[in-house]
Chains A and B, each alone.
Chain A
């Protein structure tokens, strides 16, 4: 009669191997004494467990790790991509040389765009106020008054009047509105040219009276 006691049947393999704790071993023994089905099953399990596995020998076990390692290396070698340029590689520049050269070219281009000499300024700038041609004294050689043409003299005179007038206003304003004691300080700060101009203006004012 078939036994449905799966609890006992689960323990039978360990019972056959004598690996059960004492309490379980007693429980199984008691059940076996009453159950033919489980006794048959135990006999089968013991027969299966007794099946001998032939030993391939110590030489096999000793050589196995090296054999496995060699096979792994062979497979990894097959996976590596072929280097077609290999034989010619010694004739080519290394990669770092190309990178360095490219970086050098880029830096030179940047430096040239930053440091290139400025374009020379064009002589002849339109004078905004007087309408005449303003000669850039710094850009040209020194000229004498006698060399100037009549239009150039008129322009120079107009410019000088404008400049001196503003200077005169500034000087008068400075002396009229300066606090006490400041005039002496101001006079002490003026250079020879400024003092001569001041003297000329004062003479002109005295004559006009």
Chain B
């Protein structure tokens, strides 16, 4: 039997230590996913607690057709979706506010930072299912099979959501790069 299911059975029998072990086992990966969805530490911490509370109070609804981890992810994603729709996403840091040192490493770091920020902003503009799929695949290292189980869709749909999402990110990134190049050229003139 799956290790999580054994711990779950022990928890249902009243074993408090089994409960603690289940929380400790999944808390960090869940927190990372939640943070990537809502981009805010306090929100991510709050959602993490709500995810576990909802999972354990509603344990009767867990039919064991998927893994316990998948079920936790489903609950977490649903809670984050509700919050995500009402909150502002990643705030870009304008380059004007940053002190630029004439140091290639700093500039490289800044460019990388800006690239990352552009990407994160582009992520927030993706359709919800594509955004979650790309995040789960790239940042949570989930396989397509796991993503299909979490998102309750077919394997083909999971792959399609991923590829469409990445295509849109690339297009957005290339537009931004083109704009940056044009701005740089104008600055040099």
Which A residues are within 8 Å of any B CB, using their own CB? 2, 6, 9-10, 13, 16-17, 19, 37, 40-41, 44-45, 47-51, 53-54, 56, 60-61, 64-65, 67-69, 71-72, 75-76
Most buried by B among A41, A68, A75: A68
Give B18 Cβ to nearest chain A Cβ, in Å. Answer: 11
Q: For residue A9, which residues in chain B have a CB less than 8 angstroms away from its CB?
A: 163, 166
Q: Is B153 an interface residue (CB 8 A)?
A: no
Q: For residue B53, which residues in chain A have a CB less than 8 angstroms away from its CB?
A: 68, 71-72, 75
Which B residues are within 8 Å of any A CB, using their own CB? 16, 19-20, 23-24, 27-28, 31-32, 35-36, 41, 45, 48-49, 52-53, 56-57, 112, 115-116, 119-120, 123, 134, 137-139, 141, 144, 159, 163, 166-167, 169-170, 173-174
Q: For residue A67, which residues in chain B have a CB less than 8 angstroms away from its CB?
A: 49
Q: For residue A68, which residues in chain B have a CB less than 8 angstroms away from its CB?
A: 23, 49, 52-53, 56
Question: How far does the alpha carbon of A75 sit from the alpha carbon of B56 in the complex, in Å?
Answer: 11
Question: How far does the alpha carbon of A20 sit from the alpha carbon of B19 in the complex, in Å?
Answer: 35
A62 nearest in chain B by CB position: B24
Q: For residue B31, which residues in chain A have a CB less than 8 angstroms away from its CB?
A: 53, 56
Give A83 Cβ to nearest chain B Cβ, in Å. Answer: 22
16 of the cross-chain contacts (CB-CB < 8 Å) are A2-B167, A6-B159, A10-B144, A41-B170, A44-B166, A47-B112, A47-B119, A48-B123, A48-B138, A50-B116, A51-B36, A51-B116, A51-B139, A56-B41, A65-B24, A69-B19
